[in-house]
Amino acid sequence: MNRFDGRKTDDIRPIKITKDYLIHPEGSVLIEMGNTKVICTVTIDEKVPPFLKGSGQGWITAEYSMLPGSTKGRKFREATKGKLEGRTHEIKRLIGRALRSVVDLNKIGEITLWIDCDVIQADGGTRTASITGAYVALVDALNKLVEKGTLKSIPIKNYVSAISVGIVKDVPILDLCYKEDSNAKVDMNVVMTDKGEFIEIQGTGEESPFNNEELMSLLALAKKGINELIEIQKSVLKIEL
Amino acid sequence: MNRFDGRKTDDIRPIKITKDYLIHPEGSVLIEMGNTKVICTVTIDEKVPPFLKGSGQGWITAEYSMLPGSTKGRKFREATKGKLEGRTHEIKRLIGRALRSVVDLNKIGEITLWIDCDVIQADGGTRTASITGAYVALVDALNKLVEKGTLKSIPIKNYVSAISVGIVKDVPILDLCYKEDSNAKVDMNVVMTDKGEFIEIQGTGEESPFNNEELMSLLALAKKGINELIEIQKSVLKIEL
Amino acid sequence: MNRFDGRKTDDIRPIKITKDYLIHPEGSVLIEMGNTKVICTVTIDEKVPPFLKGSGQGWITAEYSMLPGSTKGRKFREATKGKLEGRTHEIKRLIGRALRSVVDLNKIGEITLWIDCDVIQADGGTRTASITGAYVALVDALNKLVEKGTLKSIPIKNYVSAISVGIVKDVPILDLCYKEDSNAKVDMNVVMTDKGEFIEIQGTGEESPFNNEELMSLLALAKKGINELIEIQKSVLKIEL
Amino acid sequence: MNRFDGRKTDDIRPIKITKDYLIHPEGSVLIEMGNTKVICTVTIDEKVPPFLKGSGQGWITAEYSMLPGSTKGRKFREATKGKLEGRTHEIKRLIGRALRSVVDLNKIGEITLWIDCDVIQADGGTRTASITGAYVALVDALNKLVEKGTLKSIPIKNYVSAISVGIVKDVPILDLCYKEDSNAKVDMNVVMTDKGEFIEIQGTGEESPFNNEELMSLLALAKKGINELIEIQKSVLKIEL
Amino acid sequence: MNRFDGRKTDDIRPIKITKDYLIHPEGSVLIEMGNTKVICTVTIDEKVPPFLKGSGQGWITAEYSMLPGSTKGRKFREATKGKLEGRTHEIKRLIGRALRSVVDLNKIGEITLWIDCDVIQADGGTRTASITGAYVALVDALNKLVEKGTLKSIPIKNYVSAISVGIVKDVPILDLCYKEDSNAKVDMNVVMTDKGEFIEIQGTGEESPFNNEELMSLLALAKKGINELIEIQKSVLKIEL
Amino acid sequence: MNRFDGRKTDDIRPIKITKDYLIHPEGSVLIEMGNTKVICTVTIDEKVPPFLKGSGQGWITAEYSMLPGSTKGRKFREATKGKLEGRTHEIKRLIGRALRSVVDLNKIGEITLWIDCDVIQADGGTRTASITGAYVALVDALNKLVEKGTLKSIPIKNYVSAISVGIVKDVPILDLCYKEDSNAKVDMNVVMTDKGEFIEIQGTGEESPFNNEELMSLLALAKKGINELIEIQKSVLKIEL
């Protein structure tokens, strides 16, 4: 049985990753995943947070936002309200953790890599698209440091992508769009390496609890999707880690 | 091989749940889990958020905080700084989701149940202790509504507890205290029902990714711990759901 | 004598206006003016601010922001800092005034048109590009209301564009890019209709005062640029006002 | 004539001061005064505010908060609202002044002693209980510095306690609980030393002005209560100043 | 022995109260007390706070601020910092309480009287000058309501003034200017009626505690000063209460 | 035809500039322009913003505020709301730019001159009166530095004033009071030197666009008004630049 948009349960949406999307940042990517579109940029700041001063170690921090026009019904601007909502905090922390976990921060020196993920258009899966796109921008920015001679090699061992999975009408499916996401009884985001190892699992039984068997199906779907995403990342980056 | 505090890898710390800890709130509990101590209260507000007005449905929302004296080295007060930190947002959202998922919100009428978890003393596992304790305060508060005749029955079907698991020096262990938590390469929080079903899984490979086998060990440990916690909840509540 | 990028003193940069750039908002445009790129959206909110309730009149309000990756050297995120900077206030008020001045607010009913201008890439002239682009998105959104039968006609009489002019090394020039703008001794933004009438003039002698003759040269340049911009707006909109 | 809870007009409520209530802070106390319960902690910070840098002098600063579940009807959380209410400012300043006035700040070196008073349960007199409890935690923390050899002696000369007095139905009474406080026409807080000298007097004729004779009665009651509180402080601290 | 400015210990500074200082507010006063100058205004708002809606009762609320140029060394602007400092909260609450205590709020209907005290120039005693000046503006505003026929009579029974007293170099003195205030070992503010009754006493032994005898001297000085201030208020208002 | 207050179209209101209005700031002025009254102060801070440290250059920054009692209907206090409104940002930026443009910042050393403009009473033209008054306070403050020997000469070459012009009922008029301002179809503020050169022009066709001829009339009126203001500045300052 096909999904409302014609996809099979284990199909991801069409993906397009545009590298060097902007002229100013050290790394920049537009990732399109179906109708979801996110600009991911990496900017290098020659400072570290206070707790790392003098440590010789670098840092990675992430921020996330949705443009007011990215959603159906205008999304209020957090800058105007004067504070980030809880969901934004949750997502920026997830993106930061995911990318920090694959970079050897001892090898980049005392710099901060700012990851910015700005959702231009939202149709489900914006946080996982952010991670998948930001990873490409990050490798690209580090690669430029290698080309400039600042770094000897890219201090990253694994490819990393992220994808959402969920259970809709009792069927586990891969890469939920917004319409599916709002009807999911279980919702899970998975961040995984090209070795098939987990960096992060966040699963919620929003409407009802889920059992072990369902968990296994979801993780298998996620693995399939992540492998496909990593192939696309490789073809865009053309870099061997 | 035993842990630094004498526990086996699958031992939880000594637990004590004191019901009716305070005189004012509709439900209140002091939960002690080793040195971790959290006051969990439930207060009933005869209003719902705007998006539920007229829906006949109720709401549950949670807040979480740590007292300045709860940690080693004073914890700054978020009220003074004027905003909640990201970690607080993440935890209050987790507690709220976990408790909403087991209550039939259509059966409580248009009221809001405020869950407040205030950490008096922290030694790891404050978010999971908050959920385990708040669940007891919540059932107790709803039971009082039944006794007053406001509700016909407690609109909850499952017992729910939460526990942390992690991998320290390559060994999966249950219920991490702070010292273990800071050395964990993988850190996971699990919220589960008495039927052995998952309400939430949040696992992070903070230092390095983890594989499927490790995931399975961690989930098994979590299940053992949760079963023990639920037995304690039952003995305190003495209520059949 | 030509400018550093080959333009003559009275040349505007290459312009591209892409209509229907996003799927969710009622009107949406990507405007590119050389390297400056701004997403302009119009969203309809079925409410008016308190001071207009019951008046039968509608309202237009604007917000403006720059993505962190839009500038050379990361632009801090105002949402994280918790407040808008003064420059942002100045620009959003300018955009709002400019667009309110051409719409007959008595004819749109009690709705609010939210104008959002988000700068994807900045190279000078972002506030004027915002006005020129937002005008197109606004007419398009109102036109859809006409097509749906909500409005009888588009309640706008004039085409409106905006452009920057300035004096660099004693020479008045049109449409300054960032490099020129930072060296300008006089900086002026002009908003004008297709009838050649002014909606707004904001001129500052940042480095030194300017005399009447210089003012006249700048206004003449602005008029030339505005006429060219309005031709492009007309060709994109294909609507007779 | 007795009060509604059986006390005479010059009776204080049952007092219990538990020292070493928490494991992390340098000093910590749970003070219970009837149903009012406050956790008072003292944490040492090896820095001083900018205006004291290089002065050789230390500082004492206080913060005060009420847990959401401490009051009848949930107390909103100031951290969520993003700012302290006026009453909180007033109380934290009072606690800070009272404790600074008895410590010789020139003798503690350039450190800051953070006093935190968190009300677990409120039934009137929380600000005075905070001062009485925090004094004990403060002496205890300084005594530990003496035992460690950091200080030669405790730089405090006087015992200090605080109590509320007020006029209810024209009768001056000592140590008002919440019910009495809300009906008081005059409300006064007194901070006093074991020598019978005043550190602070704050009296308000909330409902009607009070005359000199009434003032004298209130101060006499306060003195009696303070003497009793100081006896309890002495028996808990077992330290000669 | 005279004070540095030639005054005796029980002298107040030269006072000038200018009524109808501004054209817009319902009541407005410039009070000058030596070099201390405060603009006090009263504005009528035809609403009450939520907790009074439908009660038939009115409300009085006060705000206080110091102009940046009012002090030696620029006073930072609280509006720019985004929050009121604790001292401001303390003072605005004091002013509000003092004025509410003399007005029969049941007789003014459901309106809010906004008291604004803005310090133009500060030289000690700004909070007491604010109360003394605002009282005049308040009576004047209420008198205008009587003249308009909105009120039958001014719902105030007592004249009210406020003054500071303190102990400097062991001598109790009246009406401290800034130089004296910074050297006071005891500092007290007294609000009193023309009947010699207290509305508020706030005394602090900032540098050292004070005994009962000292308290009595200070209260006697305050009474003398208040009587003189009330005579001036009467001569300016020319209204019998 | 005369205006409602008897003025001709090219009359400014009666002006009074009182120098040395306050005792603490380095420069202070009360400017009265009809019923509009603004206190302008200049305070010297021996620091510069971070971007100028080590540059040898000084800085000028301005702040603007309206007292709550300055307007018809109480103006809310921005400090209480916790943020500046957009209009305030716009005005403080305008004042800062205008004054920076006439001072040779390289000649004052690394200090910051804080300009504070606080509107005591508002009746239109508060931003232009602020500039005109602050200019006098600024020259006076710099002159004191010359007298003290800190500066060799006043680093200012031009006199500067500001005035509003506008079109009301199709007639261009000079120096609009509030009543005229609220009925203006075009509103313009002009800052100009004694050489007749422009420092800033801000013109808005709030109700309808304006043509070139109207612009010329407005600028001519502004020039006349500015000349008169500069004469008054000269007579108050008695300083040759």
Provide the shortest C-alpha distance from residue D2 to chain E (in Å): 28
Q: What percent of chain A has pLDDT over 70?
A: 100
Mean pLDDT of E151-164: 96
Domain assignments of chain D as residue spans, ordered by start: 15-237
Q: Tens digits of per-residue pLDDT, A224-240?
A: 999 999 999 999 999 88
Q: How far, CA to CA in Å, does E131 sit from each of E88, E230, F99?
A: 14, 12, 38
Query: Looking at the predicted structure, is the pLDDT value of residue B1 above 90?
Result: no
Given A43, A68, A80, which is nearest C43 (Cβ)?
A: A68
Q: What does pLDDT average to over chain B? A: 96
DSSP C34-83: TTEEEEEEEEEES---GGGTTSS--EEEEEEEE-GGGSSSPPPPHHHHTS
CA distance F113 to C186: 24
E18: pLDDT strictly greater than 80: yes
- Give me chain E's average pLDDT, please: 96
**Euclidean distance between CA atoms D114 and D199, whole angstroms:** 20
- D15-237: CATH class: alpha beta
Rounded average pLDDT over F142-170: 96
- Distance from D146 to chain B by nearest Cα, in Å? 20
pLDDT in tens, F76-86: 999 999 999 99
- Continuous segment of H or E residues that includes residue C232: helix C212-237
Question: Looking at the predicted structure, is the pLDDT value of residue A30 above 70?
Answer: yes
pLDDT classification of F102: cutoffs 50, 70, 90: very high
Q: Which residues of E touch D208 (CB under 8 A)?
A: 101
Q: CA of A196: which chain B residue's CA is closest?
A: B211
C208 — pLDDT class (breaks 50, 70, 90): confident
Per-residue buried b or exposed e for B134-170, using 16+ beta carbons within 10 Å of the residue's own CB: bbbbbbbbbbebeeeeebeebbbebbbbbbbbbbbee
Q: Show which of residues 121-140 on chain B sit within 8 Å of chain A, judged by CB atoms.
A: none
C87 is in an annotated binding site: yes
- Judged by a CB distance cut-off of 8 A, whether residue D143 touches chain B is no
Q: In what order do the strands lie in the sheet with D198-204?
A: D171-174, D160-168, D184-193, D198-204, E198-204, E184-193, E160-168, E171-174
F203 contacts in C (CB within 8 Å)?
A: 198, 200-202
| C37 vs A30: CA distance, rounded Å | 14
* pLDDT the model gives residue C1: 63
Is the per-residue pLDDT at C104 higher than 70? yes
Residue contacts between B and D (CB atoms, under 8 Å): 100
User: How far apart are alpha carbons B74 and D81 in whole angstroms?
Assistant: 22
Sequence ranges of the binding site of B for phosphate: 87, 125-127
pLDDT for position B2: 86
Cβ distance of A200 and B205 shorter than 8 Å: yes
Measured distance CA(C181)–CA(A45) in Å, rounded = 25
Query: Is there a contact between C122 and C157 (Cβ–Cβ < 8 Å)?
Result: no
Query: Which of A43, A79, A122 is closest, CB to CB, to C84?
Result: A79
Average confidence (pLDDT) over D63-70: 98
The residues, any chain, with a CB within 8 Å of residue C34's CB and separated by 6 or more, are C13, C14, C123, C124, C175, C177
Q: What is the mean pLDDT of residues D142-157?
A: 95
Contact between chains at C39 and A116 (C-beta distance less than 8 A): no
Contact between chains at C205 and F198 (C-beta distance less than 8 A): yes
Tens of pLDDT, residues E160-210: 999 999 999 999 999 999 999 999 999 999 999 999 999 999 999 978 899
Residue A50 in this model has a pLDDT that exceeds 70? yes
Q: What pLDDT does residue B240 have?
A: 85
How is the beta sheet containing B112-121 ordered, strand by strand? B15-19, B27-33, B36-45, B112-121, B59-66
pLDDT at position E207: 82
Under a CB-based contact definition with an 8 Å cutoff, are residues C39 and C120 in contact? yes
Sort out which chain C residues have CB atoms less than 8 A from A79's CB and list them: 65, 77-79, 83-84, 88
Contact D196 E204 (CB under 8 A): no
Q: What is the pLDDT of residues B102-140, one digit of tens each?
A: 999 999 999 999 999 999 999 999 999 999 999 999 999
The percentage of residues in chain A with a pLDDT greater than 90, rounded to a whole number, is 95
pLDDT score at C2: 86
Nearest CA of chain F to the CA of E208: how many Å? 31
pTM: 0.95
- Mean pLDDT throughout A109-135? 98
Query: E240 pLDDT band (50/70/90 cuts)?
Result: confident
Nearest to E78 among F73, F74, F79 (CB): F79
Please write the tens of the pLDDT for every residue from D160-214: 999 999 999 999 999 999 999 999 999 999 999 999 999 999 999 978 899 999 9
Model confidence at C240: pLDDT above 90: no
pLDDT of E101 above 90: yes
Return the bridge partners of B200, or none: A204, B191
Contacts of D193 in chain E (CB under 8 A): 209
- Report how far residue E138's alpha carbon sits from residue E15's, in angstroms, rounded to the nearest whole number: 18
Does the structure show a pLDDT above 90 at F164?
Answer: yes
Q: Is C30 a residue whose pLDDT tops 80?
A: yes
- The torsion angles phi and psi of B134, rounded to 5 degrees, stand at -65, -30
Average pLDDT of span C130-138 = 98
Of A198, A202, A209, the CB nearest to B197: A209
DSSP string of F150-191, one letter each residue: SSSS--B---EEEEEEEEETTEEEES--HHHHTTEEEEEEEE
**CA nearest C189: which of C169, C166, C217?**
C166
Task: Report the C-alpha gap between F185 and F189 in whole angstroms.
Answer: 14
> pLDDT tier at C207 (50, 70, 90 boundaries)?
confident
* Residue D1 predicted with pLDDT over 70: no
Which pLDDT tens digit goes with each residue over E55-79?
999 999 999 999 999 999 999 999 9
Both structure tokens of C40: 């302009």
CB of D120 within 8 Å of any CB in chain B? yes
Mean pLDDT, range D138-161, rounded to an integer: 96
Residue F206 to residue C158, Cβ atoms within 8 A: no
- The total number of residues written for chain B in this structure: 241
pLDDT at B185: 94
B65-B69-B73-B77 Cα dihedral, nearest 10 degrees: 40
| Whole-number Å distance between alpha carbons of A170 and B55 | 26
Does the beta-carbon distance from C68 to A41 stay under 8 Å? yes
Closest CA to A129 of A196, A172, A189, A218: A189
Per-residue pLDDT tens digits for C169-183: 999 999 999 999 999
3-state SS class at B188:
strand
Q: What is the pLDDT of residues B203-236, one digit of tens each?
A: 999 788 999 999 999 999 999 999 999 999 999 9
What are the two backbone dihedrals, phi and then psi, of residue D79, each rounded to the nearest 5 degrees? -65, -35
The dihedral formed by the CA atoms of E99, E101, E104 and E108, expressed in degrees to the nearest 10: 30
